[in-house]
Amino acid sequence: MTSPQSDEPAAKPVIVSVDDDPAVSRAVVRDIRRRYGQHYRVVRAEAAEQALDALREMALRGQQVAVLIADYRMPGMDGIAYLEQAMDLFPHARRVLLTAYADTNAAIDAINVVDLDHYLLKPWDPPEEKLYPVLDTLLEAWQLADRRPVEETKVVGHRWSAASARVRDFLARNQLPYRWYLADEPEGARLLAAADADPDHCPVVITAGGTTLIEPSDAELAGEVGLHTTPAENFYDLIVIGGGPAGLGAAVYGASEGLRTVLVERTATGGQAGQSSRIENYLGFPDGVSGSQLADRARRQATKFGAELITTREAVELAVNGSARTVRFADGGQIDGHAVILATGVNYRRHPAPGIDDFTGRGVHYGAALSEAAHCVDDDVYVVGGANSAGQAAVYLARQARSVTILVRAKSLDESMSHYLIEQIRQIPNITVRTCVEVVGAIGDDHLRQIVVRDRVGGDEETIDTQWLFLFIGAAPSTDWLDGVVFRDEHGFVLAGPDLLVDGTPPAGWQLSRLPHHLETSVPGVFVAGDVRADSAKRVASAVGEGAMAVMLVHRYLARP
């Protein structure tokens, strides 16, 4: 594989072209340099991965990329998949797909998948008629766009610090750029000295504005890095609690239909789905979409329609005050509204094995913890769980790790994982699936060193060397704060609609003449959507659909309480 080729000064904005056909690749770059070489640096690559490596280097150096041009048919990674990954690095760059006539349908699909700006049919001769007018328009749009470089937050901490892992995960899940420095390495030590910070009190966060935070809480961090943490009003038409797919769906539909809508999220929008490396069975994304991309698009869509998004506020109480519904927060604040949608999702269940809690954040991670994936290079990684979230994490981690082993209590993955994902795992050589096993212990010093695995059939135990354990062991709703107000099942999931009825009779305390609406809880005007609802489908698509449906029912409630 050749290196990306460029002979232009690095200070210019960049146009990147990738095509696996050397002749086509050279022709594209020749024509682009002839017209734009004076003002733009032109980079040529002959493979998608090669181009992505070059883009990552440009991102690290703070360079600006104006246009991404990719051939559709490339081995290993096609042009759509490449552009989708590239847009995570340079979201403001304009995107062009080169296609043959037979691939025009794929190009049209790419408009939805990667927000494609244009597709060009090959050959594009003469460029004066078919290439330059397109690039002129795209470059003009890029120049007019707000593309000011985002200054990075600096995080200094210790490699196996749970607090440092929490800060990195918080920033990553909120899609806030940061640079990580080890406290015991020269640059990290220099930053600590400049901030007059003690290495024993890490993590230390230095914001882009120069503010130093010592061991910050999520709320302190959010307030300094530009996240909204305080509602602008005291009263809303609709309060959405939880920022996963269901909550984001409700916020989009609520705000777009004219309701004064606020979404309150405890940590980061996206929920568990937002931590997924790749969701491939979501309607409209045939090549898959990362959870962070989906969450970011939904977040931007909600704010475009006027929804308020509030982070790092934890709801701890729900109360009925006449026609108003009151949500109180852990910090003592509160907001009121006509209606509430509960979309708090679920958390991964805590693993009961001895030692697990001791190494959480220090080699043991609940969920994907994608911020840690880059540190797993050439290591042996273990993933516990048999559902889609575990499979998606294994596929993602396998790109960096030497090996990934999925540990499953059941006899096979077929019981809980989608068929497409099982087939995908079978085709990845460094992923192994071990069935009928469970983790019964974790051993280490300052971080995880070994796990103990038991065969559930024979009872034999095995001690395995590893520094990485990712846990996906089932769902537990965080609904204790609703105790005594909203009816829940024996597992804590919220009951709604028909599930509240006993022999067709509404629940005790229901004072309205009508029956509860389909997603309405035992409290009129309080609705539930997504994974936190009893007997929900536990899928992204159904959660988004329920969020939208809940808004429709809110309108019905507001019209006739």
Three-state SS at 491: coil
Three-state SS at 132: helix
189 and 270 inside one domain: no
* Residue at 532: amino acid letter: V
404 and 457 inside one domain: yes
**Which tens digits make up the pLDDT trace of 285-332?**
777 777 888 888 899 999 999 999 999 999 999 999 999 999 999 999
391-395, 493-497, 515-519, 545-549: segment of lowest average pLDDT:
391-395
Closest by CA position to 451, among listed 385, 348, 354: 354
Domain of 157 in residue numbering reads as 153-224
Q: Tell me the pLDDT band of 60, cut-offs 50, 70 and 90.
A: low
Those residues with Cβ within 8 angstroms of residue 558's Cβ, 6 or more apart along the chain or in another chain: 237, 338, 339
C-alpha 480 chain-centroid distance: 26
Residue 1 within a domain: no
CATH value at residue 166 = 3.40.30.10
Is the pLDDT at 109 greater than 70, yes or no?
no
Distance CA 94, CA 139 (A): 8
Positive or negative: CA dihedral 362, 365, 371, 375:
positive
Whether the ω angle into residue 126 lies within 30 degrees of 0, i.e. cis, is yes
Q: Tell me the pLDDT band of 15, cut-offs 50, 70 and 90.
A: very high
Q: Tell me the pLDDT band of 39, cut-offs 50, 70 and 90.
A: very high
381 and 274 inside one domain: no
Q: Give me the number of domains the chain comprises.
A: 4
Residue 202 within a domain: yes
332 and 395 inside one domain: no
Is the pLDDT at 536 greater than 60, yes or no?
yes
213 and 286 inside one domain: no
Those residues with Cβ within 8 angstroms of residue 347's Cβ, 6 or more apart along the chain or in another chain: 366, 475, 476, 477, 478
Q: Virtual CA dihedral for 203, 207, 212, 216, nearest 10 degrees?
A: -50
The helices-and-strands tally (H runs, E runs) of the chain is: 15, 26
Structure tokens at 391: 């499979």
Which residue among 224, 244, 259 closes a domain? 224
Residue 351 within a domain: no
Residue 352 within a domain: no
Cα–Cα distance list, 136 to 36, 388, 494 (Å): 9, 44, 55
Distance CA 145, CA 441 (A): 53
Distance CA 140, CA 144 (A): 6
Cβ count within 10 A of residue 104: 14
Residue 229 within a domain: no
pTM of the model: 0.74
CATH value at residue 420 = 3.50.50.60
Distance CA 518, CA 344 (A): 18
pLDDT for the residue numbered 1: 39
19 and 140 inside one domain: yes
60 and 115 inside one domain: yes
Residue 517 within a domain: yes
Place of tokens 């797909």: 97
Q: Is 497 left (phi over 0), alpha (psi -120 to 50) or beta?
A: left
Q: Is 177 exposed, middle or buried (0-12, 13-18, 19+ CB in 10 A)?
A: middle
Distance CA 24, CA 371 (A): 37
490 and 342 inside one domain: yes
Q: Virtual CA dihedral for 302, 305, 306, 307, nearest 10 degrees?
A: -30
108 and 20 inside one domain: yes
Distance CA 497, CA 506 (A): 9
Q: Tell me the pLDDT band of 118, cut-offs 50, 70 and 90.
A: confident
428 and 366 inside one domain: yes
Distance CA 498, CA 479 (A): 20
**What is the 8-class DSSP label of residue 101?**
G
Closest by CA position to 380, among listed 352, 356, 401: 401
Distance CA 352, CA 335 (A): 37
Main-chain phi, psi angles of 217, to 5 degrees: -80, 170
Distance CA 253, CA 263 (A): 12
426 and 513 inside one domain: no
pLDDT for the residue numbered 369: 62
**Which tens digits make up the pLDDT trace of 229-242?**
999 999 999 999 99
pLDDT for the residue numbered 527: 98
CATH value at residue 69 = 3.40.50.2300
- The listed range with the strongest mean pLDDT (3-12, 14-23, 89-98, 512-521) is 512-521
517 and 368 inside one domain: no
Which residue among 452, 473, 494 closes a domain? 473
| Half-sphere exposure of residue 551: CA atoms within 13 angstroms, side-chain side | 27
Residue 362 within a domain: yes
Residue 6 within a domain: no
Q: What is the mean pLDDT of residues 400-429?
A: 94
Those residues with Cβ within 8 angstroms of residue 98's Cβ, 6 or more apart along the chain or in another chain: 19, 24, 28, 69, 70, 71, 72, 79, 119, 120, 122
Which residue among 224, 252, 271 closes a domain? 224
Element (H, E) at 461: strand 461-465
